[in-house]
Structure 1
Amino acid sequence: MSKLILLADTSTRLVCYFTNWSQYRTGDGKFMPSNIDPNLCTHLIYAFSGINEENELVTTEWNDEELYKAFNGLKQRNPNLKTLLAELLEAYKAEGAATGKPRLLTSAAVSAAKGTVDAGYEIAEISKYLDFINVMTYDFHGSWESVTGHHSPLCKGSNDTGDHVYLNTDFAMRYWQEKGTPVEKLNMGFATYGRTFRLSTESSQVGAPTSGPAAAGVFTKEAGFWSYYELCTFLRGASVRLIEEQKVPYATKENEWVGYDNQESFETKVHYLKCNRFGGAFVWALDLDDFNGQFCGQGNYTLISHLHSLLASDLPSPPTSHTFSNQSTLCTCNDQLHSRPHPRPTITTSSRIPDNSFCATKADGIYVKLDAPGSFYSCANGITWILHCPDNLVFRESCKCCDWP
């Protein structure tokens, strides 16, 4: 019998970006701070502010002060929530001493491209002063290229040559670690959008010739870019395929091609993240998920809600008598990861308890639910979540895992 143990020291940090230009989208695409679920993410980052020639913080939108007040006010509904302002020059420890409050957090969103990293960052040095680092493991490919490619692959593709062997999440995360970043400070990027291409021949596989981007999305109105909720509309009637070696999907319809992430690819990526004990995940962006549940038919925040649950828990491999492989060693992009069979068990449901009474005084972690053998509590920043094991599995306190009876 084999099982995957829930690591008590694995972080459930989930950093989510709010973009101040999403307010200008029309209809169901319009996104304001009031659309944010304050219990979904552990940290929220407001994007963006600016810095003028005098090194002073300045607004970039006419109503930034009003929006930021509403954004920061979300902490009234979740006192454990951390809010940050992107492009802030410094976060002084002296601020904490002066106010008696915890010091401000400092973070950075950094490139995942090797050439940019080599030219632009003294990694070991900046890592000393940052609380966490968001590695932008997306936009590796896009319609600026002449062939199709997934913008956020987990692993290198078999056809990648030259510098393209660096254009994947696995290489980027390991490179930042190898260059001196403590693993617990690294957040892996998750994209809630897709990158599109227009096919120029009958070929539609990865590396197929293209002639630019597909049509702009109805709400995002940017050529080569679709939000996840726009993707859900496209996927109806589309042909969906998995890039097996890179563990991410793409879809085609007529001459349009889009690479994207879904709940299943998020599962694979979170398994990789947790197995490597990276500090957490970050999402670009809140407003690009199906935040109001209008398009994908899977509830509010289809991807981010699933990501939240995945970070709080993981699943075992079934017994060896079944046809599943042991997932507990799948930490790297090697043949073992590439050959993992499908299907595999997934978290079926999760729910949050409104009064948060169970987790109010408990440390973050996983706890047994005595009245329901197939369920368990997940505590994150004082918020109480109930997660459910897949069918026929029960939760065991001894290993803090779902296991076969």
Structure 2
Amino acid sequence: MTTGHGTDGGAFDLPYSVIRNLTSPDEKANGVQTWFANVNARDILVLGTQDNLRSYIAEHKPSKRNSVHKQIENTIQELPDRFINRNSGITITCTACEIDDNKKIARLANASIINGAQTQGELKRYFAAEDGEAAEFMVRAEIIMEPLHEQIVEIAIARNTATSVKSVSQAGARGYLKDLKEAIEKALPGETLQMSETDEIGPHVLNTQAVLQWTRLLMPAKLIGAAAARNVPYKQGGKCLADFSSWAQDANTDAEAKKRYDFTVAMAPIAIAEYRHWEQHDGWNDQRLHEYGKKSDKPHGGRPVRRDKTTRKVNWVAPGILFPIMSALSAFVKEKNGAWVLEKPSLFKESEIIRRAVQQFRSDTVNREVALMGRSEQAYDALSIYTDTIAAVLQQQE
């Protein structure tokens, strides 16, 4: 039945019992056509999801099955004849569609499910478990024929927005993260960047928003704009992704957007390495930062550090403490021979900025509240005074 599917021009033959063309005049003007069809549930099992923003969430980790998955499963098992009414169905995109009503087959080019991957995943699970005793029932499919693949991406994003698809999926689908991913993989062999919400973040898959937050902290004021608050990456992490997507989109028409986009791509591997450096810096071990509160098993105001259970050395520091340090380092970021670099001068003492960070953490303003320090403009300003002063002295000597 299936002769192939994907974005390589392959054809997919989708049998149907009934199909109706409901193309609107607006769609027709754009070269788009839309059909609604009743199809056998088995016939959508091998459809690809390459243009979807996310694949079946529980495909690689069954524990990720949530209440929605279980409701789909319950309807399949107990009321399969009602499935077509109780399930929202699937949306299929293709770049060409030929309807053969004699054979009752829709021949689709470059077919992909863009909405309904969770439904398809639960159907696969059901038919695999029931083997030869599974019920036969119908699913309703919307088939959208859109000749332009970039428009298919936009349709997929729009159709998934109502189900809270994270922005990282949208940025990945639009290609905004491609250069960033390649830069990280080149500089940090064996590591890659999260491109979708279904990518499991781990030792080798970096959290996209976190990477953009760290890199934004290193962006010099003259590039990001002097009026931009230093604490934005902590207070509005999602804005770092939104801004980067905007810069990527406008890079070909806006010189400032291109400079910020190029900076982020170039500096991301440096920001990753720098954040890790400070997170496990030996200087934290001398600061008497308590992993737990004195009277409970929970630290007051959020845990500032974690320690290795064997060595008792600090191996993690809260972002609320590290972000002001990373922001202060932006004073040492500059363009050199056409490339962005971070050069910490010999006058700069890492132990001193750690001391100042802890001093801010214990100040009356922050009062040992990790989250409060991450948001405190005073903490960012206090640490930046140290690095800005050094940078100004060195500039005068040049």
TM-score band by shorter chain is under 0.3
Greater Rg over alpha carbons, structure: 2
* TM-score between the two structures when normalised by the length of structure 1: 0.24
* TM-score between the two structures when normalised by the length of structure 2: 0.25
* Structure holding more strand per residue: 1
Q: Which structure would you say has the larger RCO, counting Cα contacts within 8 Å and 6 or more residues apart?
A: 1
